[in-house]
Structure 1
Amino acid sequence: MTSPDPITRLPGAPDKLAAYCLEALEGGWGEDWDSPLVNPVGDLAARLFSGLRRGAVSLEGLDALIQHFADQGLAARADALARLHADGLSGAAGAAVRARLKALAEQGFAAFSEAVERRRGGVVFTAHPTFALSRSVRSELAAAAAEGAPARLTGQGHGHGPDSDVSLIREHEDAMAALDGARTALTELNRLVLDVAREMFPDRWRALDPDLISLASWVGYDLDGRTDIHWGRSIAFRLEEKSRQLARYASLIEASGAPGLEALAARLHQGAEASAAHARLFEADLEDPALVVRAANTLTGDYPGRITSLSGPIAEITEAMDGAGEEAALALGLIRAEMKAAGLGAAHIHLRINAAQLRSAVRADLGLEDDEADFGRLALTRAAERAEQAEVRSVSFASVFLEQMTARRQFMLCAQLLKHVDADTPIRFLLAECETPATVMGALYLARLYGVADHVDISPLFETPEALERGGRLIERLLAEPVYRDYIAGRGRLAIQLGFSDSGRFMGQAGAQLAIERLHILTARALARHGVKGLSVIVFNTHGESMGRGAHPGGFSARLDHLLTPWARGKFAAAGAPVIHETSYQGGDGFIHFAHPALANATLMATARHLLAEPDALRADPFYAEIDYTWDVYRALKAWQEALFENADYRAAVTAFAPNMLVRSGSRRAKRPGAPGQSLDLSMLRAIPHNAALQQLAIPVNVSGGLGSAIGSEPERMAAFLERSPRMAALRGMIARARTLTSLSALRGYARLFDASEWTGRAAAAQSESAERAFLALASRLSDQSRHTALMRLANHLSADLMRYDRMTDGADHAWRADPCRKAVEALHAIRQALIMQAFLTISRLPAFSPRHDLTRADLIDLVFALRIPEAVSALDEIFPEARPGLDRLDDVAEPTSTDEPARRGYPEIQARIIRPLAALHPMIERITVAISHYYRAFG
């Protein structure tokens, strides 16, 4: 234990105090694993805590210091975002796309049209809970990155943190804003395609409809693990999107200047107004049957401006193009391409449920008993039979209202959307946690039962270790079923989804990425083995912006290659299955890429360049040639991460208090629903808060961990392998970045907070009896040492792996030692640890009281130990109100008294000494959380 530093004064200015902190950290620098008894982070925290107690620094001073590091982190984040998009922002990506298009045009009109009219990729907006920054800060961040001015983000006093109302409605609004940016950028990409076509094919370009990249969203339609999205809200969202898009089409037609389309523009405006009115009806309380009837009959009846298909408007535009001038024809060509690609919505939509919801919905129809939990071969056979024999059932909104099974209701919604909103645009139906082919076949049965199979793409999501292991066999088994082959032949595509979030949580990000690549390749092999030709394969890779969810820290091409490797793309090409590679942009962190026109253009232009390029799948790479060794590395990585996930010390570290440092960053619950008493079950914590908790403990080990242990007894071979293999070099880049921000000193600093001997030592050095009592009370409450022991054991476990990794890389990846981001992050951890110590000290001064509201003094101390500070403050406010309402009337009693107890009037002293200081600490802890996330470049 380090004795408290007898500090009498600390620098007052934030920049000078920051320099003091960084110097203190530098002075105690070690290898992070070779000096476990030297802890610069914990020592700095102790100094700052001592400074608070002695008046050498104030909470206001520390708050200004937090702001200083947060502003620096925001600027660093903007700089990283600008570097990610360097090629797009500089115009290099656009120039490369133009050059590639001209090369394709030189092969003739047929080759060019096939290349630009066949969809090759997609951008999907998802509302994962990563809205840790307010809209205004996200906008400033995007502008600073796009305009090359990250330094302007420092010293501005930004309010780092989320907006106060992080609701589903606001998430949908943010998704629509991102889609606006993406749609405008996609129009510019299409303009580039048509510009090249006008140059190379002056007599034929008007026939082209570019469709390289699709836009989609599941915001408002994702019911996996959610009960807060009513079916009426999903309909309302879709109608709002339809209204926006119809108004956009009308305005674009008017702006084109093309004659003869005035009536069409007027009809589209009328349709937009009608859809907006319908949306308001579906926003009502649709638990009331009368309101359901009103909304349903209005939408499904005849009304002015009813449009459910764009085939007529597209024909009118095509006719107008034939007689229009060059520029007007170009404008109309862009509108027509958008109409064909987007349909009657701002984006395609993805409905998502989980496999359990699907199984529950079809079990009775398949004649299965409840105890047939595996949903195996019998379920597949019966589901295939039912799918083949299904007779279409008609659906109304009354059916939707009455249906209680989520999966059935979602397929009914598909039917209603196709009948009454948009008859042409396909709908993606995602099945989360899909581990058996019967789940997919059950979904196909429901799709045929409700008459939507011809317009719905059913996509299994592989994200758990079991699903990734079985995914290849699942695809093989489905392709062996004639009813499934007929279905995908009719759709012209096979769709799969791969989840980097949960897979990275269970088996580590590097191991998950290798498992996902393997599943890509197995899918390509299965298609080739079954002779399935002429189908596109939609590969939707859901990832995120942080290293903990699959976004590579390199450039944009490296990011896309990380998600779908050149080798995998080459395997699909060899199988005769052209890939449509869709990637996700998750929540606030993902939407930043489209929050500024220059960033949106850079994102889509870089994506187009990647999609149009031929994958370099034949380059020599020992990763694929030495498959036995590669397989050994993969299994070792996976085994280490899976053992870590089951490690009781890891579970205690991630769940004991770290989630309570997180800000509310989305409308979705951070924890999965579970039975009472499962709060410490790590599988109940969702992927993004799990990753965020690791950030806040300074141990992003689901990325940085495992490779050291995978070395085994051959460190030289692994080192050579890393040097020779481009594939391993890509993984190494991600691991090295995570290593930079992995600080065992910070983790051990958190362990110190729960070390009884630390507080006993402070009691011995206390200058007053009250301080001594407070410190001894903390030591007594922490006497079981369980949290301290768990955190220290975890640090020791991680140090062994990091030691092997650092020694194996022999300094090549050791830039982390001097990385300013790492030092700033460690300083923030030290500041937070000092604030937590202050919170512990404050609550320990609470006087003894008889149990009230089913709470004891010990319960309140335990709440603060778990950093559930708002709950503790709320309880304290009830137990010790500042004033008891109405008691001031007692002053009117004429009889004098000398026994008027303060408790009768309130507890202003406890409020001033304990409750209000405690309440002030929690927002500072949360501001540190957001500041740390800047250095990771994303939340979770």
Structure 2
Amino acid sequence: MPEPLRRDVRLLGAMLGDGLVEYGGQALLDDVERLRHAVIAARRGEIAGAEVAALVDGWSLERAGQVARAFTVYFHLTNLAEEHHRIRTLRERDTEDAAVPSSVPAAVERIRASEGGEERLAEAIAGLEFHPVFTAHPTEARRRAVVTSIQRVSDLLGQLNAGPGAAEAADLERRLREEIDLLWRTALRRHTQMDPLDEVRTAMAAFDETIFRTVPEIYRSLDAALDPEGTGTRPPKARAYVRLGSWIGGDRDGNPYVTARVTRDAVMIQAEHVLRALETACARIGRELTVHASTTPASPALREALAAARTAQPGLIDGVAKRSPDEPHRQYLLYAAARIAATRERDADLAYGSPDELLSDLTIVRGSLADAGAARLAYGRVQQLIWQVETFGFHLAELEIRQHSEVHERTLAELKSGEPLSEMSEEVLETLRVVAWIQRRFGVRACSRYVVSFTRSAGDIAAVHELAASLGDNAPVLDVIPLFETGEDLERAPAVLEGMLGLPAVRRRLAETGRRLEVMLGYSDSAKQLGPTSATLRLYDTQEALTSWAAANDITLTLFHGRGGSLGRGGGPANRAILAQAPGSVAGRFKVTEQGEVIFARYGHQQIARRHVEQVTNAVLLADTGAVQDRARRAAARYRPLADKISDAARAAFRSLIETDGFAAWFARVSPLEEIAELRIGSRPARRKAARGLEDLRAIPWVFAWTQTRVNLPGWYGLGSGLAAVSDGGRDLDELREAYGAWPLFAALLDNAEMSLAKSDRAIAERYLALGERPELSETVLAEYDRTRTLVLGVTGHERLLENRKVLSRAVELRNPYVDALSHLQLRALAALRAGVADETERDHLEELLLLSVNGVAAGLQNTG
């Protein structure tokens, strides 16, 4: 472990230990340390897991809960120490002369060095788009109170690491101890159910604290890469290419709590946050822009704009002019800030009618400064504000609606029957009315995308357009997006799009948008149905087919990737995933869901957010280069027959397992599946319907529960059988090794499985599986684990898991023993609950211990669902 990281971990751990003694006496810390040493010894093979279990079983439930809380808080502190080290590393890299790998300058250099480099680069920049879409999918297990407490600890640690004087350092350490004590005493899980607007407000924290300020920095980085000497003194060569989207408050598929009123309120909350941010930024820049008319005269356009403002608002302009005499640029920006405030307060006389009006005003100021010779002022902070308006508008994020195709089918049937509409059907129509209202208030861009879950045919798209048309003059403008989720639906996708071209409403919209069309691909449900290996290849085939279809039909296609945070739901490093996509399918545009804990992991800190977006940008720019596409095409042609054989065997193994009689009941027994709902980490129910089978179980609790058991089955199951089928049982790995080295898709598949296996633990998993009392199922799962682990290592050539990924390997190895401690505590509770507990008080204590440990394991493993 690097020394700065070791220092921070030790400091925070020691402070937590002191706090434990203050709270529960030395005996509490001794028990925590006994368990810590025991799990480390078990990892080394010095003691058996049974000895660890005996230690845990010997404690009272109250003590077991305290120990679980201690390890959970420790993980939160370790996570933030690692975050600080990542930031340190990024800053150190930023001082180097060479372009940081996978950065924007690195991509620009590579494209420039290619044949026709400058022309290719200009084309790439012109079409560049990154569209992250925040969702409320419930995988963030921490309470907001815990998140903010951790943030305060993080701020203090950052100040302490900045090298303060002795007196200041002593006070920072005192405050740090106080915050850690507060974190220890804060309830780690929610005791009330979240509602959708809670989820909206939680997501706003990432915007307020990070994203609003980070976006212009990212554009500046691209602008500097394009012209290092000129950035900040000339019109920008980088355009605003990030578009923030959100499903939070709009995704109603199976969530009865997301209503039309919630959708309307979500947009208003977003608008409040972005307008406040723009007002603050505009006012700050206005106050700072103290250039005098004698040194920086106003342009004719600015003088005319000020004169018109004085006519419209004489009192306001006179007041601004009195405070800023002979400072026309300052006056006009302060006037613009007042208009933004009026927009937020809905003061019609002063408010902006649209963000385009604000952009026009800012462009006048920028042009006037440039004309007066103040280019640095024009293309510095004023330009950054322009980028922010271009990115966020007055709506912040483009709110998307999602609903299940069956709901539209029922609503349309009721409309045509002439009978009174059901409550659900009324809600569907009211949602469409709200979309129309949002568009009148904030523009079509604020809310036009309507995602149809489980799209089976063009008729599912036609149904939404028909429902909208039934509203007459109140119909919204809609971009109806098919979401293909099951294996069968993915195969049918090109045929569905072909049918969509026959719909008049779709043809009209294509004409209005320059023949732009969006399609969403579901990673979660396809993996739950086919297994991770076959789902990966099916999604690749679908991308390839859709790309060919779009080219043949002169369609500008955007593929919307419905990825989760976990590897079992399409997660993993985003930049590597982009470079592994089917050739031509990226085309300069990348749209992806950002879910649960991933939002705060990627966007919770400014430097980390900037690095993440730069890595994505790098990959999107490089994905369309000839070198990357040619390599992928050659490898796919050479190794696809091999991959198909792997896929067939992997799918057969996966389906055989989940189709075993009684599998669903066994899974619920060996995991905390049903108890996870009690964490109250989201407003959405775990199942689409009341049935208890796997089919209606959402992918998130499916993955979350397997993560808790330390099996991590959704990330690797079936791959071992697939690899064995093409390698003579693992005796001939030469062709597989060639494919791993040559084909980015295959390499990403194996690397992600390796990461998932590294976060598993066979010995602990065996104890969970035994709770199901189905030894044949346990043996099947464990045998596939052994087969997959052996063959993945054999193909990659690694001696141990994650051998070639030093940072990730260190993080996993650091955490695993402590996750083991929580797993042993969870097993104690789960085993007792599965055996049946008559005493209600004891059952309550066991459930509390179980949920505490679930929270802790989630914190330790970091990507849970």
Fold match, TM over 0.5?
yes
Change (3 A) 1:244 1:934: closer
Residues 495-541 of structure 1 show CA distances to partners (whole Å, capped at 9, x for unaligned) of 111222222222223332222222111110111233x15x2x22221
Change (3 A) 1:80 1:938: farther
Counting only pairs closer than 5 Å after superposition, residues 566-645 of structure 1 correspond to structure 2 as 566-568=580-582, 570-572=583-585, 578-615=587-624, 616-619=628-631, 622-645=635-658
What is the aligned counterpart of 2:53 among 19, 40, 45?
45
Counting only pairs closer than 5 Å after superposition, residues 844-883 of structure 1 correspond to structure 2 as 864-865=833-834
Counting only pairs closer than 5 Å after superposition, residues 377-526 of structure 1 correspond to structure 2 as 404-423=425-444, 425=446, 427-447=448-468, 455-479=477-501, 484-492=506-514, 493-526=516-549
Q: Determine the structure 2 residue equivalent to 1:883.
A: none
Q: Distance in 2 between matches of 1:346 and 1:640?
A: 45
Q: Distance in 2 between matches of 1:458 and 1:402?
A: 23
> Normalising by the residue count of structure 1, what TM-score does the alignment of the two structures yield?
0.70
Counting only pairs closer than 5 Å after superposition, residues 297-376 of structure 1 correspond to structure 2 as 303-324=348-369, 325-330=374-379, 331-363=381-413
Q: Distance in 2 between matches of 1:866 and 1:456?
A: 53
Change (3 A) 1:644 1:103: closer
Q: Determine the structure 1 residue equivalent to 2:169.
A: none
Task: Give the letter for the 1:683 counterpart.
Answer: E
Task: Give the letter for the 2:346 counterpart.
Answer: A
Q: Distance in 1 between matches of 2:738 and 2:119?
A: 43
User: Aligned to 2:844, what secondary structure does the other structure show?
Assistant: helix
Q: Determine the structure 2 residue equivalent to 1:935.
A: 860
Could you tell me whether the CA contact under 8 Å between 2:672 and 2:830 is conserved in 1?
no
Q: Determine the structure 1 residue equivalent to 2:336.
A: 264
Change (3 A) 1:567 1:412: same
After TM superposition, give the deviation of residue 580 of structure 1 in Å: 1.8
Change (3 A) 1:13 1:404: closer
Residue identity over aligned pairs, in percent, reads 19
User: Aligned to 2:131, what secondary structure does the other structure show?
Assistant: strand
After TM superposition, give the deviation of residue 823 of structure 1 in Å: 4.2
Q: Determine the structure 1 residue equivalent to 2:785.
A: 802
Change (3 A) 1:647 1:744: farther
Task: Give the letter for the 2:718 counterpart.
Answer: G
User: Aligned to 1:496, what secondary structure does the other structure show?
Assistant: strand
Q: Determine the structure 2 residue equivalent to 1:741.
A: 759
Q: Distance in 1 between matches of 2:245 and 2:110?
A: 30
User: Aligned to 1:513, what secondary structure does the other structure show?
Assistant: helix
Q: Determine the structure 1 residue equivalent to 2:825.
A: 831
Could you tell me which runs of 5 or more consecutive residues in structure 2 were left unpaired when the two chains were aligned.
1-26, 162-172, 290-328, 803-811
> Normalising by the residue count of structure 2, what TM-score does the alignment of the two structures yield?
0.76
Counting only pairs closer than 5 Å after superposition, residues 169-318 of structure 1 correspond to structure 2 as 169-180=197-208, 181-195=210-224, 205-206=234-235, 210-256=239-285, 257=289, 258-259=329-330, 260-274=332-346, 303-318=348-363
Structure having the higher Rg: 1
Q: CA RMSD in A?
A: 4.1
Could you tell me whether the CA contact under 8 Å between 1:694 and 1:700 is conserved in 2?
yes
What is the aligned counterpart of 2:693 among 681, 684, 707?
681
User: Aligned to 1:551, what secondary structure does the other structure show?
Assistant: coil
Q: Distance in 2 between matches of 1:71 and 1:508?
A: 34
Answering whether residue 104 of structure 2 is matched by residue 97 of structure 1, we say yes
Q: Distance in 2 between matches of 1:579 and 1:819?
A: 37
Residues 333-372 of structure 1 show CA distances to partners (whole Å, capped at 9, x for unaligned) of 333333233222121111111111222233467x7999xx
Change (3 A) 1:267 1:735: same
Answering whether residue 107 of structure 2 is matched by residue 138 of structure 1, we say no
Q: Determine the structure 1 residue equivalent to 2:746.
A: 728
After TM superposition, give the deviation of residue 579 of structure 1 in Å: 4.2
Change (3 A) 1:668 1:333: same
Q: Distance in 1 between matches of 2:673 and 2:752?
A: 24
Could you tell me whether the CA contact under 8 Å between 1:121 and 1:214 is conserved in 2?
yes
User: Aligned to 2:510, what secondary structure does the other structure show?
Assistant: helix
Could you tell me whether the CA contact under 8 Å between 1:218 and 1:351 is conserved in 2?
yes
Q: Determine the structure 1 residue equivalent to 2:711.
A: 699
Q: Distance in 1 between matches of 2:477 and 2:390?
A: 15
Could you tell me whether the CA contact under 8 Å between 1:93 and 1:602 is conserved in 2?
no
Residues 769-809 of structure 1 show CA distances to partners (whole Å, capped at 9, x for unaligned) of xxxxxxxxxxxxxxxxxx423xx222111123223324434
User: Aligned to 2:268, what secondary structure does the other structure show?
Assistant: helix
Change (3 A) 1:308 1:213: same
After TM superposition, give the deviation of residue 418 of structure 1 in Å: 1.1
Q: Determine the structure 1 residue equivalent to 2:170.
A: none
Change (3 A) 1:104 1:658: closer
Counting only pairs closer than 5 Å after superposition, residues 885-924 of structure 1 correspond to structure 2 as 914-924=839-849
Q: Distance in 2 between matches of 1:633 and 1:253?
A: 57
Change (3 A) 1:523 1:352: same
Q: Determine the structure 2 residue equivalent to 1:123.
A: 132
Change (3 A) 1:622 1:918: same
Residues 532-569 of structure 1 show CA distances to partners (whole Å, capped at 9, x for unaligned) of 15x2x2222122322232222xxxxx43332x34452x
Q: Distance in 2 between matches of 1:209 and 1:922?
A: 54
Change (3 A) 1:83 1:805: farther
What is the aligned counterpart of 2:720 among 705, 708, 711?
708
After TM superposition, give the deviation of residue 417 of structure 1 in Å: 1.1
After TM superposition, give the deviation of residue 415 of structure 1 in Å: 1.3
Q: Distance in 1 between matches of 2:675 and 2:562?
A: 26
Could you tell me which runs of 5 or more consecutive residues in structure 1 were left unpaired when the two chains were aligned.
1-8, 30-39, 276-302, 371-398, 553-557, 754-786, 841-863, 873-913
Tell me the matched-pair count: 738
Q: Determine the structure 2 residue equivalent to 1:658.
A: 672
Could you tell me whether the CA contact under 8 Å between 1:566 and 1:617 is conserved in 2?
no
Counting only pairs closer than 5 Å after superposition, residues 23-34 of structure 1 correspond to structure 2 as 23-24=41-42, 26-27=44-45
Could you tell me whether the CA contact under 8 Å between 2:255 and 2:683 is conserved in 1?
yes
Could you tell me whether the CA contact under 8 Å between 2:35 and 2:821 is conserved in 1?
no
User: Aligned to 1:684, what secondary structure does the other structure show?
Assistant: coil
Q: Determine the structure 1 residue equivalent to 2:322.
A: none
Task: Give the letter for the 2:390 counterpart.
Answer: K
After TM superposition, give the deviation of residue 59 of structure 1 in Å: 4.1
Could you tell me whether the CA contact under 8 Å between 1:70 and 1:160 is conserved in 2?
no
Could you tell me whether the CA contact under 8 Å between 2:766 and 2:782 is conserved in 1?
no
Could you tell me whether the CA contact under 8 Å between 1:545 and 1:938 is conserved in 2?
yes
Task: Give the letter for the 1:427 counterpart.
Answer: S
Q: Distance in 2 between matches of 1:596 and 1:511?
A: 36
Q: Determine the structure 2 residue equivalent to 1:20.
A: 38
Could you tell me whether the CA contact under 8 Å between 1:501 and 1:550 is conserved in 2?
yes
Q: Determine the structure 2 residue equivalent to 1:527.
A: 550
Q: Distance in 2 between matches of 1:141 and 1:813?
A: 36
Q: Distance in 1 between matches of 2:861 and 2:606?
A: 24
Task: Give the letter for the 1:329 counterpart.
Answer: A
Change (3 A) 1:191 1:819: closer
Task: Give the letter for the 2:334 counterpart.
Answer: E
Could you tell me whether the CA contact under 8 Å between 1:132 and 1:588 is conserved in 2?
yes
